[in-house]
Structure 1
Amino acid sequence: MFTKYLMFQSAPLPTIVHSRPAYHATDTTGFDLILPCCNPSHGWMETLVKHYKEVTAELYPVRIQLILVNDGSVKNFEQVHIEWLRKAIPGIIIVSYTENRGKGYAIREGVKHARSRYQIYTDLDFPFGTAVIREVYDHLLAGKDIVAAERGTGYLNVLPRKRKIITRLSRAANKYLLQLKVNDAQAGLKGFNNRGKAILLSTRVDGFLYDSEFIHRAGKQKALSIVPVPVHCREGIAFSSFRFKLLWKELNNYLRIIGKSQG
């Protein structure tokens, strides 16, 4: 039987609006699929269900626990959407809070409610398709601690000019300043086991640079196995723009990461 309950805590801790009885993770349990979102576009629910069904079909009979995190949306995420998703995807876990905190914060909140041995997160619109989810999961089953998507040079060719410049600068900083083991830390698809999970939960950056902090912290653990997986954007992906205020905030986050790496 599915249960619906609320957890009232001091702000800005999340509220779980729908869940199901917990089960114990085993080698055959599968994984948690964590999707953060903020102000999703019109029709996002139907698209989510479509992609979720593709993933479950691709990995059948692997058990997949979907965890959706609403990062303070002010539009297109209301009770009617929650009820619709509950019927469309029985057992879905929805974590929701009112203040927009950033993608890194949202991912950590989703991971805190994980129930499986492995976790995989990606963006709500599955920008790299669904087949790559199996590849990530297979690497985890093979014993890798962290699996990170890595976009090639072809990705830059489809980016708007402003975003292309930002991406090039980010990659250069990751390579030469942080010396990350993954060339493209900002690709929004990663998987990990309990060892990787502990490192992700130790990150502090709330914005999109949490990825760099995650891979940077993981890279300091020589015993950890980190493997990149090449990905390509599927057709029809719309790229969001960055506000100057957000870029300035993330620059400060980058300086914090660099400072810690040299400390």
Structure 2
Amino acid sequence: MKVSIIVPIYKQEKTIKKDLENIAHVMSQTRWDFELIGVVDGSPDNSFEEAKKLKDPHIKIYGYEHNKGKGYAIRYGMARASGEYISFIDAGMDIDPNGISMLLEHMEWYDADIIVGSKKHPASQINYHVIRQLYSCIYHLLVRILFGLKLKDTQTGLKVFKRNVMEKVLPRLLVKQFALDVEILAVAKKLGFDRIYEAPVKINLDEGNSSFSLFPLFDKGIQKMVIDTLAIFYRLNILGYYNDASKRKWIYDKDLDMRVNTGELG
């Protein structure tokens, strides 16, 4: 079985070569065939040039001129994925890439539609700021109330999906920033892909290199994430935007069309 691993990249010229090499090395020690798809999200530095120096045939690098957001970068990578499984992991190595194979094994153990890396799994090893933990708990409560997702964590930047799930979900997505995880999970559940389970991860978050604010209410990124989350609820439950009947209203972007970018359509 082949897995496509998406890595969104932004302002990481100093570390991205090492990060991608590390992920590729870890995956080469597993039983999984893989491709690593790095997507440079309009980064103003030399991230694209540095990543393109890699000659590993497993690694493919894409990019575009203007910054569009982490969520858009992940969707862009997914549209170019050829694997039976599609995964994404944050760059920066805060999340141990050995977790990818752990999630893949969980996919097969549970015959899952989606496996979510979870900070709240009892076997997870986590090191990050207490304020971030508090914010995570509050946001999780909001997500659980709005969408009824029976998960303890939706925001860890490591997930694995069956290809057929993303073939159905990807054309409906709108989020370009950090609420993409919730949009994917909520839409998948709406479409009947409810075999969604959690798996352990190992995270060592260097807050010194993080853009996260210790005062979440004043963090514009977090404010935007909450607004996007409420908008997902509105589209899902009020507008019915994600339903098949609303297909003509879906916003089409050729760069995000899996059939076009994988060659399924000539």
Q: What's the TM-score once normalised by structure 1's chain length?
A: 0.77
Q: Distance in 2 between matches of 1:93 and 1:157?
A: 30
Native 8 Å contact 1:156 1:164 kept in 2: no
Report the Cα distance in structure 1 between the residues aligned to 2:112 and 2:23, rounded to whole angstroms: 25
2:237 aligned partner: 262
* 1:56 aligned partner: 28
Partners of 2:192 and 2:23 in 1: how far apart?
Answer: 36
Q: Alpha-carbon deviation of 1:75? A: 1.4
What one-letter code is carried by the residue in structure 2 that aligns with 1:44?
A: I
Q: Give the residue type in structure 2 aligned to 1:111.
A: M
Q: Secondary structure at the match of 2:39?
A: strand
SS at 2:40 equivalent: strand
Q: Does 1:147 align with 2:148?
A: no
Which structure 2 segments of 5+ residues have no match? Answer: 239-266
**CA shift digits 1:135-157 (9 cap, x unpaired):** 22223345311111111289898
* CA distance, structure 2, for counterparts of residue 211 and residue 223 of structure 1: 15
2:112·2:196 contact (CA, 8 Å) conserved in 1?
yes
Could you tell me how far apart the structure 1 residues matched to 2:132 and 2:4 are?
30
Residues 194 and 98 of structure 1: CA distance in aligned 2, closer, same or farther (over 3 Å): same
Q: How well do the aligned residues superpose, as a CA RMSD in angstroms?
A: 2.6
In the alignment, does 2:121 pair up with 1:128?
no
TM-score by length of 2: 0.76
Deviation of residue 41 (structure 1)?
A: 5.5
- Listed one character per residue, the Cα deviations across residues 197-229 of structure 1 (whole Å, up to 9, x for unaligned) are 121442211111111111111222335421111
Could you tell me which runs of 5 or more consecutive residues in structure 1 were left unpaired when the two chains were aligned: 1-27
Instruction: Return closer, same or farther for 1:214/1:54 CA change in 2, 3 Å cut-off.
Output: same
Given that 2:5 and 2:35 are in contact with CA atoms closer than 8 Å, whether structure 1 keeps it comes out as yes
The percent of aligned pairs where both chains have the same amino acid is 25
Shift of 1:171: 0.9
CA displacement at 1:159 relative to structure 2:
3.3
Inter-partner Cα distance in structure 2 for 1:110 and 1:188 = 15
Structure 1 contact 178–261 (Cα < 8 Å) conserved: no
Give the letter aligned to residue 94 of structure 1: I
2:220 maps to 1:249? no
